[in-house]
Amino acid sequence: MRIGHFELNNNVILAPMAGVTDLPFRRLCVELGAGLAVSEMLSSNPEVWDTAKSKHRMAHEQEPGIRSVQIAGSDPELMARAAKHNVAEGAQIIDINMGCPAKKVNKKLAGSALLKEPALVREIIQAVVAAVSVPVTLKIRTGWAPEHRNGAEIASIAQEEGIQALTVHGRTRACMYKGHAEYETIRDIRQAIQIPLIANGDITTPEKAEQVLAFTGADAVMVGRGAQGNPWVFREITHYLRTGEKLESPSKSEVIEVMGRHLRQLHSFYGERRGLRIARKHIGWYVQGIGNPQDFKATFNRLESAQAQVDALNFLSSI
């Protein structure tokens, strides 16, 4: 799997997820087998670049592997400026977001709302590709509603204007995250373009990854919500695709050890006050995977210090 001049270690990629794929989580997923980990979505509005949230999202200290940064917006000039800014900050790939279905993003005609405006899609891609020397990729949905699946049209525009790889989530904007992803449109898009194609949506197991690759003809899969609390999904999928054999699930002790490392990195990266709050959702996802013993999640969410969270994980290992 190649994106421009970059060769990925494998074809299983961590999806960009706002509030989830920060630097600590990206490090962990690459360590556990992700061939690429894409950053959280960054606004093209320069007025927010100096906020603490944006600075954390732009952080690439000791970034594992290739640094891919996703940007979002609807103004071609601002998108080009954002691309330049993030390359200056260390981005090696710029990914354009035209897939986010969130209302607060779509009301600004950004994210998947752009799928209704093919001419503007072309202008944005042209501006960003011309602004930077690094590869530019694009993430879209299959369309803006089930009766308006225009993903193949957008894909063709992307290829014509220099996009180096395309990711397609198998739902429309109107579908949000409801129901099941459909892969027929991704298969149609594969027939329409020659650039690398990445399939996304409901890929949570090695078997599903193999099925989606075979059905769509995509070059890679992207895992999003399936990695929350389960970064081992990357090593499991890559092993299965390579050998046809399933790995055993991580032991409880390994889960707790990884939770502990992730927790300490969150405290260090964000500081205690913000780090312990962000840790709550990640630890909640992890413990659901091991049965949430003794309603550990509820207890953990009441803790108000970093040390108390560390002590709680130590206790968890003993029950």
Nearest to 123 by CA among 95, 178, 164, 161: 161
Residue whose pair of structure tokens reads 């979002």 in the numeric block: 72
Given the residues 30, 100, 128, 209, the one annotated as active site: 100
Q: What residues have CB less than 8 Å from 64, skipping those under 6 apart?
A: 26, 27, 30, 31, 37
Active-site annotation holds for 100: yes
How would DSSP label each residue in the chain? -EETTEE-SSSEEEPP-TTT--HHHHHHHHHTT-SEEEEEEEES-GGGTTSHHHHHHT--TT--S--EEEEE-S-HHHHHHHHHHHHHTT-SEEEEEE----HHHHTTT-GGGGGG-HHHHHHHHHHHHHH-SS-EEEEEES-SBTTB--HHHHHHHHHHTT-SEEEEESS-TTTTT-S----HHHHHHHHH--S-EEEESS--SHHHHHHHHHHH--SEEEESGGGTT-TTHHHHHHHHHHHS-PPPPPPHHHHHHHHHHHHHHHHHHH-HHHHHHHHHHHHHHHHHHTT-GGGHHHHHHT--SHHHHHHHHHHHTT-
Catalytic site residues? Answer: 100
